[in-house]
Chains A and B, each alone.
Chain A
Amino acid sequence: MIAFLLKRTANAAFVMLAVAFLAFLIFRSFGDPVEMMVNEQATQAERAELRERLGLNDGFLTQYIRFVTNAVQGDFGISYRNQQDVMVLIAERLPATFELVLVATVISLVVGIPLGVFTAVHRNSRLADALQLTSIVGVSLPSFVVGILLILAFSVTLGWLPAFGRGETVDIGWWSTGLLTPSGRAALVLPAISLATFQITLVMRLVRAEMLETLRTDYVKFARARGVPRARVHWIHALRNCLMPVITLTGMQIGNLIAFALVTETVFQWPGMGLLFIQAVTFVDIPVMAAYLMLVSFIFVVLNTIVDVTYAWVDPRLRDDTAAAGGANG
């Protein structure tokens, strides 16, 4: 298991180096940072001095190594737009996005898995058919439409929930959370549902397909023959065998959700990283964009690694050590 972990971590590190290279290229190819930072009256000498200070006269490789070294320490430079440390800007926005994505993921699993099991087990019932049909709508509606419809229904017409912002937040260290205040929780509901809609149907359809497969297996039939009650067979024996792809999907999708949160955050004016990125794009604020790219990739890579490790945990056959034991006894 330890060898497996080391191998996976090394892979992850390599991927991050490649991403850093891409982010670095963006840095270099989007015009001259000096031109964007100095004012128009600056003299040639001042510009040269700044160029030297930023290390732009060094060789390509030296600059890349410096970029990576700084990035590893969380230093992505200064935002062109508001002259603040990029990492500080992102750190302020990260909790908002993270909480949104987390809640959306939990919603999609808590709703999607039972729906998937239900539609598989009762595959010939009217209700299951209706759910299947509804799920197609869920997949086809773009998330900004869902967001706008939710706002229209629950904020404008019914007035139950806020349509924008994050509500009150509480600071725990550097992390600001909206989960501890009533207005923070209320503000989270609509964006989270809007972000989760697509996920719910994805999880539901995946679980359904996997369950249909699993229900046909001998060990499900044998579990029934052992006298295991039907519900226990479905929800424990069969469902666990379906979770592998669900874990993969969820893991991968958390990355996607962070990226997609951009749309939801714009619709709901949610003060997260996505909104920050949109603003950065408008002002060609390259350090912010590069840092966002690095961070999102980092999250993707970490999630993929966690998914692989979780696989090994859920499915004993993938563990290196037990596979060896199996070979010895096979």
Chain B
Amino acid sequence: MTDTVLDVRDLRVEFPTRRGVLTALDGVSLSIRRGEILGVVGESGAGKSMTGMAILGLLEPPGRIAGGEIHLSGDRIDTLSESEMEQVRGRRIGAIFQDPLTSLNPLFRVGDQLIETIRLHTDLTRDQAGQRALGLLREVGIPAPEDRMNSFPHQFSGGMRQRVVIALALCAEPELIVADEPTTALDVSIQAQITALLRQLCTERGTAVMLVTHDMGVIAETADRVAVMYAGRLVETGPVDDVVRRPQHPYTAGLMGSIPGLRSDVEELSMIPGSMPRLDAIPPGCAFNPRCDKAGPRCRREAPRITGEGAACWLAMEGSTA
């Protein structure tokens, strides 16, 4: 297990509110190996992005990690102080955010933002950092990087900005990249380029990538393994082919059924009846049981858990009706 880069065990995130404590993440366990892309998928509000933010140590107060552990290449990072975490963010974990239009500071030149990040994490001089920044821009496929160093973010198109954001994430050659919906705000044609770029960087540099998205298409194309989330819990994990082709959890099956396929002869897309519960109204037992047509008595009583691969479903675990 020496090549395990990220190891999240039984993560629990809580938000104390006036009306009681909301549990936003409950028992989330993930692991990503070197050079592997883990797709984290689910509806909005399922806790995908929050998992990413918890790993980065950037939960919005009053949100806090209430249980579980996060390990980065064997080092526990969820207990680090803020200043220690500043040494991890950007250096050992790179981040890519959803909207490249708003991720870059509009008042600073792209080159300066790169150089700032490089110099925060290395001992390079300004000139050396500039050279490195140029190299990064070239690597992420920005044409004429020498000219673009002095440009401001508003002078780039959306796709080019996301490439700059990726270059920023790569500044200190991190072990892990948390990519939070990196393609959602982009045109479809640009999406493919960005996912291809991520895939390529992951293969060439051996970086582990946590790819958070609600787009199963992106996951199917890009990820090696996939983790499906629902209502702040992990529903199913496994190699992407298995999960896409042979989903074991009824929710995953429903999710796959709702992807429009080009070659599919099926006229109608299936859909899952009902909607995801709010955080203050998660039912006892399996969170999905009110929407599940196969749910039995045990599903309403006990919450199924998974720590490794598999489906958090009594039906799948027991291989019979629950």
Footprint of B on A, CB under 8 Å?
217-219, 221-230, 237, 240-241, 314-317, 322, 325-326, 329-330
Q: Would you give the shortest CB distance from B57 to chain A, in whole angstroms? A: 9
Interface size band for B? 35 or more
Q: Would you give the shortest CB distance from A142 to chain B, in whole angstroms? A: 37
Across the interface, which residues of B come within 8 angstroms of A330, CB to CB?
A: 155, 157
* In contact, A221 and B97 (Cβ under 8 angstroms): yes
* Contact among B56, B98, B107, B168 for A315, CB-based, below 8 A: B107
Name which residue of chain A comes closest to B153, CB basis.
A219
Across the interface, which residues of A come within 8 angstroms of B89, CB to CB?
A: 224-227
* In contact, A314 and B107 (Cβ under 8 angstroms): yes
* In contact, A219 and B103 (Cβ under 8 angstroms): yes
| A225–B107 CA distance with the chains assembled, in angstroms | 18
Known: A219-B104, A329-B156. A226 touches B117 (CB 8 A): yes
* In contact, A218 and B152 (Cβ under 8 angstroms): no
Footprint of A on B, CB under 8 Å?
56, 58, 82-83, 86-91, 95, 97-99, 102-108, 116-117, 120-121, 151-152, 154-157, 160, 165, 168-169, 171-172
| A325–B120 CA distance with the chains assembled, in angstroms | 30
Across the interface, which residues of A come within 8 angstroms of B171, CB to CB?
A: 226
Q: Would you give the shortest CB distance from B146 to chain A, in whole angstroms? A: 15
Say what secondary structure dominates the interface of chain A. Answer: helix
Across the interface, which residues of A come within 8 angstroms of B103, CB to CB?
A: 218-219, 222
* In contact, A326 and B95 (Cβ under 8 angstroms): no
| A111–B173 CA distance with the chains assembled, in angstroms | 41
Known: A228-B90, A322-B152. A241 touches B105 (CB 8 A): yes
Across the interface, which residues of B come within 8 angstroms of A314, CB to CB?
A: 107
* In contact, A218 and B102 (Cβ under 8 angstroms): yes
* In contact, B117 and A322 (Cβ under 8 angstroms): no
* In contact, B95 and A241 (Cβ under 8 angstroms): no
Known: A219-B102, A221-B58, A316-B152. A226 touches B168 (CB 8 A): yes
Across the interface, which residues of A come within 8 angstroms of B117, CB to CB?
A: 226-228
* In contact, A329 and B95 (Cβ under 8 angstroms): no
* In contact, B155 and A237 (Cβ under 8 angstroms): no
Across the interface, which residues of B come within 8 angstroms of A224, CB to CB?
A: 58, 89
Across the interface, which residues of B come within 8 angstroms of A325, CB to CB?
A: 151, 155
Q: Would you give the shortest CB distance from A293 to chain B, in whole angstroms? A: 38
* In contact, B86 and A230 (Cβ under 8 angstroms): yes
Across the interface, which residues of B come within 8 angstroms of A218, CB to CB?
A: 97-99, 102-103
| A168–B155 CA distance with the chains assembled, in angstroms | 54
Known: A227-B89, A229-B83, A230-B86. A222 touches B120 (CB 8 A): no
* In contact, A241 and B107 (Cβ under 8 angstroms): yes
* In contact, A219 and B156 (Cβ under 8 angstroms): no
Q: Would you give the shortest CB distance from B100 to chain A, in whole angstroms? A: 9
A sample of 30 inter-chain contacts (CB < 8 A) reads: A218-B103, A219-B102, A219-B103, A221-B58, A222-B165, A225-B56, A225-B89, A225-B97, A226-B95, A227-B86, A227-B88, A227-B90, A227-B117, A227-B121, A228-B86, A228-B117, A229-B120, A230-B86, A237-B108, A240-B105, A240-B108, A241-B105, A241-B106, A314-B107, A315-B106, A315-B107, A316-B154, A322-B154, A326-B154, A329-B155
